[in-house]
Amino acid sequence: MRKLLLLLLALAPFTILSAQSKRAIKHNQSLSVSYLAIKDGLVSNDSIAVKKAAVAMTAALENFKPAGMPTDSQQVFNETKARLMADVTSMAGTQNVNKQRKYFATFSETFWQLTGIIPMYKSTLYYQQCPMTGVTWVSNKEEIKNPYYPKNMLSCGKVIAEHNTSL
């Protein structure tokens, strides 16, 4: 009985760490899932879907806890959070899809910086660019679906970088 108790006490920190890791993974995924929903709404030219996804992203950012991350990663997150919040709040505050795209352009650049320090998705994330304008976005698929010009140039773009930091 005593050995069993000692074994349970020895394993307790790993159980707690595992629960914390699961919560961190859930928070990280909520950021990427919300971002991808915004992008997909823009690809579909659906300002209502973008607005809903932007509201979800706002909540995900507000609830994200950088605890457990390396100090330099926490610092980068804290420095970029305000910029992300400003853009996503602006996207949520309008139903004009062209204005949403304008905010999405700067939001995407900042979001990509985070994908390099925080594992956010269960597979590769691709950083894609429209060669006509230079605007960028993040996708979970290598296939190009341009959220800025979905009617005229849906497949116009190229992959310029990728992160394999999966959860």
**In degrees rounded to 5, what are phi and psi of residue 14?**
-70, -35
What's the pLDDT at 119? 76
Q: pLDDT for 68-89, tens place per residue?
A: 778 888 888 888 999 999 999 9
- Rounded Cα distance between 98 and 118, Å, is 29
pLDDT class for 104, splitting at 50, 70, 90?
very high
Q: How many CB atoms lie within 10 A of CB 37?
A: 17
Rounded average pLDDT over 8-26? 46
User: Residue 3: its pLDDT value, please?
Assistant: 52
Q: How many residues does the chain have?
A: 167
Q: Which residue, 23, 62, 57, is CA-closest to 37?
A: 57
- pTM score of the predicted model: 0.83
DSSP 7-30: HHHHHHHHHHHHHHHHHHHHHHHH
What mean pLDDT is predicted for residues 99-125?
90
What stretches of 72-152 adopt beta strand conformation (E)? 125-129, 136-139
